[in-house]
Amino acid sequence: MLEALYRLRHGQGRIGKSKAAVLEAVVECPGASRSELAATLGKKPDSLSRPLKELVERGLIERSRKGRYWLTNNWQDALDRERTLTGEKLSARLDEQGYVREREAYRLYLAEKEESSEG
Amino acid sequence: MQARYQPGNALTVSPEVLTAVAYLEERAKHRAKKGVAAHSRWAVYRALIDCAKRHGYMYKGRDVAVRISVRRLALDAGLGKTATQDALTALEASGLVYRASKGNGPVPGALALRLPDTDVTGTFVPPPSPLLLYRPRQC
């Protein structure tokens, strides 16, 4: 699951890599407070207030009354939904298709080059 | 049709590679990841480490090398191709990664993860001053 977190892509409206790092810290130490998370990530606690708030709004984590952060029960489903709605899956698939086309074109180019050198 | 390669177990990674990768992973976790594109660099580095766990090999006796294309690396790191190239350039500049061999036709090149000792101080943080994109006019 951690692999999926660092594959999150940058982009408008997306979770992005910096918020993914915060989410990963919550996955690794559930129930941590903001200052504990900040210490883990090597950041100031104030700089985490916005990403944590956004992650709560997206339904990935929840904040307890004592100011501790926990993963929601269905955070993996929520993450999957986010990736679909923000077009991350689509852009990854498009990239993959583009790379397949590039590889195929290069293979054809090499074959043609070999043919012309032989002929 | 005859097979082009001898059958073998491609999943076998030597224990010394796994030890080196575990050491690299532990060291990398404590490196700073602040600033522009630092997370992209970290994603590329981590994708390389994951790849090394699966099919890394020892290079020059102490470093760990992986044969991977930039396209595959980009997909694994969740980045575009250009961002991956930029991250690789920065990682090379910081001394964490270097190119072990160039690609040849459809066979991708190899990237080596340098085992940090005294001569590597690289972080995922960009340099403190912005890069000089143009030369100031001489008076």
Which residue among A6, A8, A103 sits closest to B46, beta carbon to beta carbon?
A: A6
For residue B48, the model assigns a pLDDT of 94
Question: What pLDDT digit, counting tens, does each position of A76-109 carry?
Answer: 999 999 889 988 899 999 999 999 999 999 989 9
pLDDT at B94 over 70: yes
**A76 vs chain B: nearest CA distance in angstroms?**
18
Coil, strand or helix at A91? helix
CATH architecture of B15-113: Orthogonal Bundle (1.10)
- C-alpha distance from residue B63 to each of B9, B31, B95, B113 (Å): 22, 19, 12, 6
For residue B4, the model assigns a pLDDT of 54
Both structure tokens of B61: 């006796």
CB-CB under 8 Å, B34 with A43: yes
For residue B10, the model assigns a pLDDT of 56
Q: Give the range among A25-29, B35-39, B44-48 with minimum mean pLDDT.
A: B35-39
**A54 vs chain B: nearest CA distance in angstroms?**
18
* Domain extent listing, chain B: 15-113
CB B56 within 8 A of CB B13: yes
Average pLDDT, stretch B93-106? 88
CB-CB under 8 Å, B106 with A107: yes
User: Which of A1, A2, A6, A86 to substitute to test the interface with B, most B CBs within 10 Å?
Assistant: A6
Coil, strand or helix at A15? coil
Is pTM, for the whole model, over 0.95? no
Q: Tell me which chain A residue has its CA closest to the CA of residue B35.
A: A18
For chains A and B, count residue pairs whose Cβ atoms are closer than 8 Å.
Answer: 48
For residue B134, the model assigns a pLDDT of 47
CB B125 within 8 A of CB B96: no
Residue in B105, B118, B96, B40 with CA at minimum distance from that of residue B73: B40
pLDDT at B105 over 50: yes
Mean pLDDT computed over every residue of chain B = 79
